[in-house]
Amino acid sequence: MFISKLCIKNFMSYENIEINLCENTNLIIGENNIGKTTIFEAILLWGKCYQHNIQKNGRDFYKSNVNIYVNFSELHFLRAVRDEELFFDKGKDISIKLIFEDSSNIFELMFTIEKPKKINNAYFRCKLNNYDEFERFANCILNLGMKLSEAINFYQTAPVSHILKNEPYMNLGQVKKKISLGKSNEVLRNKIISIHQKSNDKSEQLESEISRVLDKEFKFKFPSRAKANTDEYIDLRVEMDDSCNDICVQGSGFLQICEIFSSVDFFDNSINILLVDEPDSHIHAKLQKKLLEELREIDNTQILVISHNDRFLENLDTDHLLFINEAAKVSGIVNRIDIHQINRLKLDLGGISMALCELNNAHNIVFFEGEDDIKYIKNLYRKCKTLINLHLSDYCCFFHIRGRDYIVKKIENIHRVLNTLFTQKKYFTVYDKDFCTQDSADNLKSSLQRINRGQLKAYYHKGYCIESVLFSEKDKLVSFLKMISGLEKEEIESFINEWVDNQVQNIYNISSELYGSMQFKFKSQKTEARPELQAVEFTDYCTEITNDNIQFLMNKGNIKSFILEMENHFSIQLIETEDDVSEEFYSSQLLYKYIENLDNIEILFASYKDLIELLYT
């Protein structure tokens, strides 16, 4: 049996939220102060109400009309100095519902927590809702041969940097009391000894679990049972690496791993809920993957982990990640995320955790074909924000979709996932016109903008690619080239006019080198992965190229040819090549030079201006 859903109302930072959990490991991420730890506190508060509502016989719950009270001082696990801090709205009660499932049953068990109106920081009344549901659950547990008090156990492990130097022997009741007070690390030796005394198999299981995570063999050296009657403190040693030392001198990573597995193995309940807060705080990165793998092998234990570490994320199944943000709190629901679908975000933005937090803070989310395009736009914005009156500079989050293949399907899939996580975001797709005709480029734009009922805006550059926009307005191109070459305006104009005339003539000449190279590239791109080109022939593309829109011919190779011919014609050097003579290097360096010299609105190309205003205003 496991918790399939947690519903919280009016508790701390949550007004009303439903969190869907999976049976095994649930990893919770989100920005600081968003309410991750509050989820743990809600579960522990439910557990406290559960224990208080069980009758002394351990088999039945008190009826709904019986007043059950919990002292505020007992709720040590809550981060609240005053009881009123637990209520989102001080005029309403708290309700926490856990929905338990197994192969044949679903139990909805909810408690309401009420605060006395005239007395502060004293006690709460915790009342179960729908007694029939609780009674049905009690009968199920009874049929399993257990008492209600033994059926469910909640235990929380926090980062452990050290343990008590001298830990006294305690009986089972005292150990459980310490655990219930959130001081599990203070009874680490007692837990380990208790497991050992249950059976040798249990003890060997614990050692094996820890050894597999450490990838290193070790053994506990236990004191004899008689020592509990003669010694005050427990002498528990660890044999490892040809040494035998007290457990307290072991490293913090070893101690935390021991704390986690000893807590799990200490109880034999039907339902064990393990709450692990920041397990990566003291555990080395290379051990974190093994820790998660080992935790997922434990039977009858459901695990909730709070972490910002992507090593945990990388090893989760597809639906084990929960992302908490303001949008989820407003919508009132947190669903599990399909990690495979957002893997691209992880790659582009430095990890899933970082990616989701970055996307959460953005107003605009922008998809680009290539990574270089993002660098261009960021640099253009820094220049343009002083040239254009940008009334609102929204924070944009960019990531590239790695090429044009199946672009509509890619954006649909990513947008579908993001739209379940974030609300009130603006989405944009920016792509190259490439070999599209005007009609096919517009049709692709329409297809993209129909995604999710028009929630996404699409934009393609007024040129073959983003670099070719430099050739879309001749007067501005001339002014720019004059700045970086020192040549006269008339000289540059004459060269450009002649060069463009030759290119247009060659693209219509089927025997020219230009025609052949462009046709070869067109054929290589006209594939099943590019459906927008299926109805386009190379001749359709060529017929739209004229002296007035040469930018649609200017791919990276032709931009390099232009630069080299101009350098040769005037015996100058526009681009410092160093060791890179690729087409990509020449075209990118020309655009970077333009951005570097962009100091007045008169040479800002209309296509760049339109794009900056679209994304940032």
**Phi (first) and psi of residue 167, to 5 degrees:** -110, 115
pLDDT confidence of residue 312: 63
pLDDT confidence of residue 76: 85
Give the confidence band of 349 by pLDDT, cuts at 50, 70, 90.
Answer: low
CATH topology for 1-145+284-348? Rossmann fold (3.40.50)
Measured from the Cβ of residue 60, the count of other Cβ atoms closer than 10 Å reads: 17
pLDDT confidence of residue 514: 97
Ranges of H-type helices in 428-468: 438-449
Measured from the Cβ of residue 240, the count of other Cβ atoms closer than 10 Å reads: 17
Residues of the chain with pLDDT > 90, as a percent, come to 57
CA angle, residues 464, 467, 468, in degrees to nearest 5: 40
Taking residues 352-373, what's their average pLDDT? 85
**Phi (first) and psi of residue 451, to 5 degrees:** -60, 130
pLDDT confidence of residue 74: 87
pLDDT confidence of residue 266: 82
pLDDT tens-digit readout, 127-145? 999 999 999 999 999 998 8
**Phi (first) and psi of residue 116, to 5 degrees:** -65, 140
Residue type, 80: A
Is it the case that residue 564 has pLDDT exceeding 90?
yes
Q: Which residues contact 285 (CB under 8 A, 6 or more apart)?
A: 309, 311
pLDDT tens-digit readout, 51-65? 999 999 989 999 988
Is it the case that residue 343 has pLDDT exceeding 70?
no
DSSP string, 210-260: HHHHHTS--EEEPPPTTHHHH-SB---EEEETTEEEEGGGS-HHHHHHHHH
Report the phi/psi class of residue 429: left, alpha or beta, with left for phi > 0 and alpha for psi in -120 to 50: beta
pLDDT tens-digit readout, 292-334? 778 778 777 888 988 776 666 666 665 688 888 888 898 899 9
Give the predicted TM-score (pTM) of the model.
0.74
Ranges of H-type helices in 526-605: 538-543, 556-570, 583-596
Between the alpha carbon of residue 512 and those of residues 47, 390, 507, 544, the distances in Å are 80, 46, 7, 18
Cα gap 277→287, rounded to integer Å: 16
pLDDT tens-digit readout, 507-561? 999 999 999 999 999 999 999 999 999 999 999 999 999 999 999 999 999 999 9
pLDDT confidence of residue 49: 94
Identify the CA nearest to 109 among candidates 100, 118, 120: 100
**Which residue's structure tokens are 């434990």?**
298
pLDDT confidence of residue 282: 58
Give the confidence band of 345 by pLDDT, cuts at 50, 70, 90.
Answer: low
**Phi (first) and psi of residue 113, to 5 degrees:** -115, 120
SS (H, E, C) 315-361: CCCCCCEEEECHHHHHHCEECCECHHHHHHHHHHHCCHHHHHHHHHH
Cα gap 430→400, rounded to integer Å: 10
Is it the case that residue 392 has pLDDT exceeding 60?
no
Q: Which residues contact 403 (CB under 8 A, 6 or more apart)?
A: 369, 370
Taking residues 432-438, what's their average pLDDT? 96
The beta-strand segments (E) located in 339-495 are 364-368, 396-400, 426-431, 456-460
pLDDT tens-digit readout, 82-107? 999 999 999 999 999 999 998 889 99
Is it the case that residue 393 has pLDDT exceeding 60?
no
Cα gap 62→70, rounded to integer Å: 14
**Phi (first) and psi of residue 298, to 5 degrees:** -75, 130
SS (H, E, C) 171-215: CHHHHHHHHHCCCHHHHHHHHHHHHHHHCHHHHHHHHHHHHHHHC
Mean pLDDT of the chain: 89
* Residues in a beta bridge with 469: none
Structural domain spans, the chain: 1-145+284-348, 163-269, 362-617
Cα gap 115→390, rounded to integer Å: 51
Cα gap 198→193, rounded to integer Å: 9
Taking residues 456-482, what's their average pLDDT? 96
Give the confidence band of 270 by pLDDT, cuts at 50, 70, 90.
Answer: confident
